[in-house]
Amino acid sequence: MLNYTIKDLLNKGKEAVLQEVCVQGWVRSFRSNRFIALNDGSTIRNIQLVVDFENFDAEILDKINTAASLKAIGEVIESQGSGQEIEIQVQKIEILGESNPDELQSTILQPKAHSLEKLREQAHHRFRTNTFGAIMRVRNSLMFAIHKYFNENGFVYVNTPIITGSDAEGAGEMFTVTNFDLEKDLPKNEEGNVDFSEDFFGRHTNLTVSGQLEAEVAAMGLGKVYTFGPTFRAENSNTTRHLAEFWMIEPEMAFYNLDMNMDLAEDMLKYVIAYAIENCPDDLKFLSDRFDKEQTQKPQNERSELLLMERLEYVLHNNFVRLTYTEAIEILQNSKHNQKKKFKYPIEGWGMDLQSEHERYLVEKHFKSPVILFDYPAKIKAFYMRLNDDGKTVRAMDVLFPGIGEIIGGSQREERLDVLDEKMDQLGVSKENLWWYRDLRKFGTVPHSGFGLGLERLVLFVCGMGNIRDVIPFPRTPKSAEF
């Protein structure tokens, strides 16, 4: 007798006919006291079990309810019905875990359509739904492809700290880490502020917003590195695009300029999307059908011009358009969309921070292609980005995708100590706290670049979902950390 996952068994197809096999999973449905649809999470597809109910104990059959778990042993036969190539003629069933039909009615495990909001309320159950199961398998495939890509391209995987004393973005929206007993009076310094010198780490520390600065350190000795881990933003933003905890992929490369950085970002995105398409055909077919149906229910002006699979293929087979921020502002200012005041945030001119609606206009309406914007105004970008010769712009880049807007943000880093110091002074970034970061520029400084890719934004795009809370197992958002 052979033990199979349902995915492996279905992939074998008719080659498995006449084999005695064992499968385990959860009941999706039980029809006519004879046909069980069983799923074990390995695939979106179910295997059909055929029960000769006249030869089975009625007590066992009574326990085969939706969501119950069981172990089945039987012979693989060619299916007589449509929709599946093979099925299992069951010889023995063992109930592993029962499911109460009355209590089932209040859960998302009952076999009917549920809203995504309902799924979020029962996050402990949603892994067993078709939609979320498909998303998680695609997410897994993308994560593996990311590691595979960097490994094949000579990168060293480094683990940067989750607890850190630096704020890489300079935004200040960080979660404090402390070992103080918050039920007691906290120690104060002479200025009346909390004295973190008495805390566990002897200084004010927080959950990381980015592993970039530490990855830069590693790149200065290892050449090409990447970090892939959780990051945290204490941004009180309840939108479909923001999370308080999310996963970031951040490569850093010594001896790379901005053009090389853009080449890498484009190549990596195409590689991982192609990998998911090749390795998750069933899940993406399901998600594509879902996305395409959803589009027909939207107002005409809000619909995607491309179906999901068309959108993914378009990214794979077209070069990303590259243009400067200055060129983008001119296009947006002169657009009919702006002149007719259709933007929620009007284009006020050079120096403004572009919003998602502006980024999506460039991608979806003007170029109808992924876009990489670069050379942004220095005043709206972080201190570590390399200043251009014009003194006004920095070597920053953003990769923009349809339906998403910004999916990657990166830059060539400032390798000149005097320029870095000047920018830190202008933006109020502490040189004392980042003495080690400055030190890198004193001993063999080199041009170097890197970028950050939010995994959830990538999964959102590939799966055609509209809310970032639906592409991470347990979303962390303001006033929400139940599971």
State the pLDDT confidence band at 172, using cuts at 50, 70 and 90: low
Cβ(75)–Cβ(113) below 8 Å: no
Confidence of residue 306 (pLDDT cuts 50, 70, 90): confident
Examine domains 2-107 and 130-174+209-470 and report if their fold is the same. Answer: no
Letter string b/e over residues 464-474, b meaning 16 or more CB atoms within 10 A of that residue's CB: bbeebbbbbee
Band (84; pLDDT cuts 50, 70, 90): confident
- The Cα-based distances of 154 to 148, 223, 410 in angstroms read 10, 9, 20
pLDDT band at 454 (very low <50, low <70, confident <90, very high): very high
Q: Which of 362, 360, 357 is nearest to 342 (CA)?
A: 357
Q: How far is CA 209 from CA 248, 396, 407, 426, 452, in A?
A: 9, 18, 16, 21, 11
Number of helical (H) and strand (E) elements in the chain, helices listed first: 15, 17
Q: Which CATH superfamily is domain 130-174+209-470 in?
A: Bira Bifunctional Protein; Domain 2 (3.30.930.10)
Q: In the chain, what percentage of residues exceed pLDDT 90?
A: 85
Domain ranges within the chain, ordered by starting residue: 2-107, 130-174+209-470
**pLDDT band (50, 70, 90) for residue 171:** low
- CATH superfamily, domain 2-107, is Nucleic acid-binding proteins (2.40.50.140)
Rounded mean pLDDT, 429-440:
93
pLDDT digits (tens, 9 = 90+) for 9-53: 999 999 999 999 999 999 999 999 999 999 999 999 999 999 998
Contact at 8 Å (CB) between 36 and 66?
no
Say what the pLDDT of residue 483 is: 86
How many Å apart are CA 251 and CA 248, to the nearest integer?
10
pLDDT at 161 over 90: yes
**Of 451, 363, 443, residue with least CA distance to 412:** 451
Average pLDDT over residues 333-341: 92
**Which tens digit of pLDDT belongs to each residue from 276-303?**
999 999 999 999 999 999 998 888 877 8
Which residue type occupies 441?
A: R
156 vs 83 pLDDT, higher one = 156
Largest distance between two CA atoms of the chain: 85
For residue range 241-254, list pLDDT tens digits in order.
889 999 999 999 99
What is the reported pLDDT for 403?
85
